Amino acid sequence: MIPKAFKSASRPDQSIDLESNKQVSPMETTNTTLFDNERTSFDSKIEYQESQVEGTGESWFTNLKDSFKRMPVDDDDIDPNLSQLEQSALRAAKTPLQRSLKSRHLQMIAIGGAIGTGLFVGSGTALSSGGPASLLIAYGIIGIMIFITVHALGELAVTFPVGGAFLTYNSRFISPTWGFCMAWNYSMQWLIILPLELVAASMTIKYWNTSISPAVWVTIFYLLIVFINLFGVKGYGEAEFVFSMVKVLAVVGFIIVGIVINCGGGPNGGYLGGEYWSNPGAFNSGFKGLCTVFVTAASSFTGTEMVGLAAAETANPRKTLPSATKQVFWRICLFYMVSLTIIGVLVPYNDSRLLSTSSVDVNASPFVIAIVDSGIKVLPSIMNAVILIAVLSVGNSAVFGCSRTIASLADQDFAPKIFGYIDRQGRPLFGVGMSLLFGLLCYLSVSSEQSIIFGWLLALAGLSSIFTWGSICFSHIRFRMALKYQGRSTDELPFTSVCGIYGSYLGVLLNVLVLIAQFWVALWPIDGSPNAKNFFKNYLTVVVLIAFYLIRAVWKRKEWCLYLRLNQIDVDTGRRDTDLVLLREDLAEERAFLASRPFYYRVYKFWC
């Protein structure tokens, strides 16, 4: 809905700003007036947060105890006559989450945040299913989709750095019903991932030690995740900075070592070249083999959208988010495409070690297999340690993503208000608590039925990322359409997607094609006949989403709508840059400065 303050601002006539002696549209004047109080209130809350972080001079125990008290949130200035959707947008804009993430945090989260077991271990399953050519094609197509999606998300997150980010965009630009489905879908994904990653970490340790019970290791890793999240977003940012740095260095190091091994420089010698592309071949199981790789490739990029979710907790999203968004191109090209090309020439797709039934068996990692086959003695353990760090990184991200999602659910009235509890350190305590509570499922690692249980848990969230990315692209399309409907242009946006609205159309199309491909291989698996168990293990997410949609439709039947009309979409609430005249002047100065710089500098700023 458009806030009522905006509805009178549709006239084309102009007024005069006496200080700048420039013509100002009624919309721009209204925007500045409407958000003056909001900005003052928001800034005062930030100052209050900083004073709480610095301490009050009391004992450390008193400060620690007080830090868990609820951050005061003033909702008195939210007009009760506004619609539920408008009130939700204002609450998301006024979130008391702490703005502690810095540029270096976002840079490393963007570059290495999504590098995890999907790349290090899952790529082995993909290689076995489709062959090296299918591996590159599928990851390349998903990479293009991710590039488009992250740029669309970057444009929205820089313009609206609100709590919940793309989770609230679904409700604002598509419909509250769809937003309800996507928010619960995303939170469920991270709730499930945490115990899975903790079990994965305990299994990774088996590479060195098989005598100690997995319960001991999951306890150690669980307590480590708890400790990191006691420090709130600052703890998450610092931990991910270190984790991502290690992962990036490991991938770069592997690429260098892989080239040396392929050229015959390993202890076992022997030039390989492209031998494995000829024998056993570039493809396995033809087109259906390629289709099976898509979901594995998508899971490898899970967490890429986390940069947008962190927008509300970034000190200056207008300066840091665009750069972090552009880093995705380099991650796709260097860390995925190059490393997977190396894997394809070092490990044949018919290697029996790739056929492990466990998605976290490090012995099935093509990165480890390639180094072991080369005869290098120390590097397999080093790579295994990197995989362990990657697993813990994903577990840490799971708590961050889940807790912010649950807080957003409360802001949008999709969950009880208590889930929106945010303490004086900016921590969404109930969200963190719920995530850690589900994390206790990691103790199923000592059960003989763990593979069956976790297999079905993973099926619940198997396609979650595909729906999340498709919804981000569609939200971007709807935002651009609403902006055009109101007679406004992208000149007022601090950052615009290099792919534009047509890129987002392509992003939606690619997501739909992946869902179709997955439906095909789920119903008719390779070397198998159709069966219900296989279908639901690969397509259960869709069934769950339909259930969420029906629940919301029945629960809010009086407010239910398939989609919002363009005249109902609010394109202003939540902006930090509320003076559109000043913003346009700043952007014009930045473009003029960039145009005055040498060509190589302009190319660098375009990509970085």
The predicted structure's pLDDT at residue 70: 74
* Per-residue pLDDT band at 503 (split at 50, 70, 90): very high
Residue 595 lies in a domain: no
Is position 382 within any domain?
A: yes
Reported as a single tens digit per residue, the pLDDT across 510-554 is 999 999 988 998 888 887 788 888 888 888 888 889 998 888 888
pLDDT of residue 353: 85
Q: Taking a C-beta distance cutoff of 8 angstroms, is the pair 343, 370 a contact?
A: yes
- Identity (one letter) of the amino acid at 341? T
Any idea what the CATH number is for the domain that residue 159 is in? 1.20.1740.10
Distances (CA, A) of 473 to 28, 146, 279, 469, 574: 27, 10, 40, 6, 19
pLDDT at 57 over 60: no
Whether residue 362 is predicted with pLDDT greater than 80 in this model: the reply is no
Mean pLDDT (the chain) is 80
Instruction: Determine the Cα–Cα distance for residues 583 and 95; give it in Å rounded to an integer.
Output: 23
Whether 33 maps to a domain, the answer reads no
Lowest-confidence region among 29-43, 95-109, 139-153, 566-580: 29-43
9, part of any domain: no
Kindly report, residue by residue over 246-255, the tens digit of the pLDDT.
988 999 999 9
Per-residue pLDDT, 8: 35
Q: What is the pLDDT of residues 183-233, one digit of tens each?
A: 898 988 888 888 888 888 888 888 887 788 888 999 999 999 999 988 888
Q: Which of the four pLDDT bands, split at 50, 70 and 90, describes residue 480?
A: very high
pLDDT at position 84: 64
What is the spatial distance between Cα 201 and Cα 445, in angstroms, rounded to a whole number? 11
Residue 74's SS3 state is coil
8-state DSSP, 116: S
Give the pLDDT of residue 436: 92
Contact 160, 475 (CB under 8 A): no
**String of b and e for 385-399 (b: at least 16 CB within 10 Å)?**
bbbbbbbbbbbbbbb
Q: Is residue 105 part of a domain?
A: yes
Q: How far apart are CA 29 and CA 36, in angstroms?
A: 11
Q: CB 131: neighbour CB atoms within 10 A?
A: 27
Q: Give residue 261's pLDDT.
A: 93
The two tokens of residue 467 are: 């729906």
User: CB neighbours (10 Å) of residue 591?
Assistant: 10
d(C-alpha 188, C-alpha 428), whole Å: 17
Position 13 confidence tier, pLDDT thresholds 50, 70, 90: very low
Residue scoring higher pLDDT (114 or 292)? 292
pLDDT score of 286: 86
Share of residues in the chain with pLDDT > 90 (%): 19
pLDDT (tens digit, 9 = 90+) per residue, 281-310? 999 988 888 988 888 888 888 888 887 777
In terms of Cβ atoms closer than 10 Å to its own Cβ (0-12, 13-18, 19+), residue 546 is exposed
Q: How confident is the model at residue 379 (pLDDT cuts 50, 70, 90)?
A: confident
Residues 6 or more apart whose CB falls under 8 angstroms from that of 412 comprise: 88, 92, 164, 167, 168, 171, 176, 179, 180, 183
Beta-ladder partners of 70: 423
Instruction: Please give the average per-residue pLDDT across 405-427, as a whole number.
Output: 84
Cα dihedral 533, 539, 541, 543, rounded to 10, equals -80
Rounded Cα gap, residues 78 and 14, in angstroms: 29
Of 43-57, 236-250, 478-492, 552-566, which gets the smallest average pLDDT?
43-57
Instruction: Provide the percentage of residues in the chain whose pLDDT is more than 70.
Output: 82
Q: Yes or no: say if 469 and 182 are a contact pair by the CB < 8 Å rule.
A: no
Dist CA 356 CA 23 (whole Å): 68
pLDDT score recorded for residue 79? 60
The reply to whether 441 falls in a domain is yes
Which among 235, 206, 230 is positioned nearest to 218, based on CA atoms?
Answer: 206
| Res 260 pLDDT > 90 | yes
Instruction: Say which amino acid occupies 502.
Output: Y
Determine if the peptide bond prior to 598 is cis (ω within 30°). Answer: no
Rounded to 5°, the CA angle 384-353-288 comes to 115
Contact assessment for residue 409 and residue 183, using Cβ atoms and an 8 Å cutoff: yes
Express each pLDDT in 33-44 by its tens digit.
Answer: 434 444 444 444
Q: Which of 138, 121, 250, 139 is nearest to 196 (CA)?
A: 121
- Render 492-558 in DSSP notation, one character per residue: G-SS--TTHHHHHHHHHHHHHHHHHHHHHHHHS-TTS---HHHHHHHHHHHHHHHHHHHHHHHHTTT
What Cα–Cα distance (Å) separates residue 375 from each residue in 266, 270, 371? 7, 11, 7
Asked if residue 7 is part of any domain, the answer here is: no
Say which residue, 210 or 397, is predicted with more confidence: 397
Question: Regarding predicted confidence, which is higher, 66 or 553?
Answer: 553
Question: Is the model's pLDDT at 90 over the cut of 70?
Answer: no
Residue position matching structure tokens 């900075």: 241
Please give the residue that has the higher pLDDT: either 546 or 64.
Answer: 546
| Band of residue 46 on the pLDDT scale cut at 50, 70, 90 | very low
16-30, 277-291, 335-349, 551-565: which range is least confident on average?
16-30
**How many CB atoms are located within 10 Å of the residue 543 CB?**
13
d(CA 128, CA 397): 28
For residue 426, what pLDDT band results from cuts at 50, 70 and 90?
A: confident
Q: Is residue 246 part of a domain?
A: yes
β-partners of residue 423 are 70
The pLDDT value given to residue 409: 86
Tally of domains in the chain:
1
State the residue range of the domain holding 558.
Answer: 78-577
d(CA 64, CA 66): 6
